[in-house]
Copies of this chain bind each other. A is one copy, B any other.
Amino acid sequence: MPRRPRILDELRQTRPFPSRADEALVSLLRTTDVLRRHLGRCTHESEVTPQQYNVLRILRGAGEQGIPTLEIASRMIEQTPGITRLLDRLEAKGLVRRQRCPEDRRQVLCWITEPGLELLAELEAPVARAAKEAFRKLSAAEIDTLLALLERLRSTCTA
């Protein structure tokens, strides 16, 4: 006798899913939405959005030599066509510095500022705690399983 999936109750649906793939899709979307909110509450404390936080981390990783605008976009976890305006807002807050590249004047190089680094330092512990907490019911082996499945899933879409 088939078990009634809990996600049907969460979304108050009466009819079952037409296929397991449909169910998995909905479940993925739902789960990630919950996680995003969970993370958003962390970054909200420091008045930045998750996207802005992602940019700052990329800039910190890039270090002294800076990094051009579109290179940031390509490293974002979630695709972000509005990268220019995202950087505009970060620059307005004084968390980012920008300058046209002298070697190739088409590019605009970006750096994180000292206040930006401080903000990242503040958020380090809360974000790590949130991630750990979200996954606390999964064992190390289960997380590995999840990672392998997700990687395979992505490979069919990006290919």
Contact = CB atoms under 8 A, between A and B. Distances in A.
Interface in A59-105: 61, 74-79
Contacts of A78: 29-30, 33
Interface residues of A, number: 64
Copies of this protein, total: 2
A142 B147 contact: no
B154 A31 contact: yes
A120 interface: no
Given A19-B131, A25-B134, A138-B153, 14 more contacts: A13-B75, A19-B128, A21-B143, A22-B131, A24-B146, A25-B35, A26-B77, A27-B147, A28-B28, A29-B78, A32-B32, A33-B77, A34-B158, A149-B149
25 contacts: A10-B154, A10-B158, A11-B75, A11-B77, A14-B61, A19-B132, A20-B135, A20-B147, A21-B131, A24-B146, A24-B147, A27-B147, A28-B146, A28-B150, A29-B35, A30-B154, A34-B158, A35-B157, A37-B79, A38-B157, A134-B153, A135-B156, A137-B152, A137-B153, A137-B155
Interface of A: 5-7, 10-15, 18-39, 61, 74-79, 128, 131-138, 140, 142-147, 149-158
